[in-house]
Amino acid sequence: MKKVTTTLVIIALCFVSCKKEVKTEDVTAKGSDSIKTEETVAEAPLDSAAQMKAWQAYATPGAPHKLMTDEVGTWNCEMTFWYEPNGKPEKSTSVANIKMILGGRYQEANYQGKIMGAPFEGKSTLAYNNASKEYTSTFIDNMGTGMMVAIGKYDEKTKSMELKGDMVNPVNGKKTPYREIYTIVDATTRKMEMFDVKNGAEYKSMEIIMKKK
């Protein structure tokens, strides 16, 4: 299988890069003279079977990826924005088309709509890292030139995912933290909330209610 072949190649490269030589120094004293000798000692070979098992586990989609696969389809999005704490909300709409890519390992969502009367396009990706047991979210759009990256975990009890990251404020060029909460309301409803920080205090800056068509 192609997946296994690729895994074997990665493992082989990892094995070669990890096998290195280290030098040890022996000092033998004879009277007032010290004789130093160096010998090269190779590290013990890595267990290739264990390496292969670890890489296969890392590359194999599991239950978290099934959770992402359940969202494949088209979603109508009702968006609300707050540009200031306790500010007047602004409403907008968009449509999200969600699909799984690279053999069901990652989720990709493409958004189209309008914000402040201007055409809006955005793209997000979502990954679950089998090794770190964390989700990573990325987002880019046509209203900026930066990428938002957030990392977090899913809570089965609340059916929600909390992700945290940093974004650059284009006004002052400084990084500010942001937080997202993504909630599975029911089989056809999702809620995404975003919280920004202004003057040292967190406030809710966006809410998206997604309904599956």
Q: Are strands 134-141 and 33-42 parallel, antiparallel or unpaired?
A: unpaired
Model confidence band, residue 10 (pLDDT cutoffs 50, 70, 90): very low
pLDDT tier at 81 (50, 70, 90 boundaries)? very high
pLDDT in tens, 117-138: 899 999 999 999 999 999 999 9
Cβ within 8 Å of residue 148, ≥6 positions away: 137, 138, 139, 140, 165, 167, 178
pLDDT score at 43: 54
Going by the DSSP 8-state scheme, the letter that residue 47 receives in this structure is: -
Q: Tell me the average pLDDT across 191-204.
A: 95
Q: What is the mean pLDDT of the chain?
A: 85
The yes-or-no verdict on residue 18 having pLDDT over 90 is no
Tokens representing 38? Answer: 């160096």
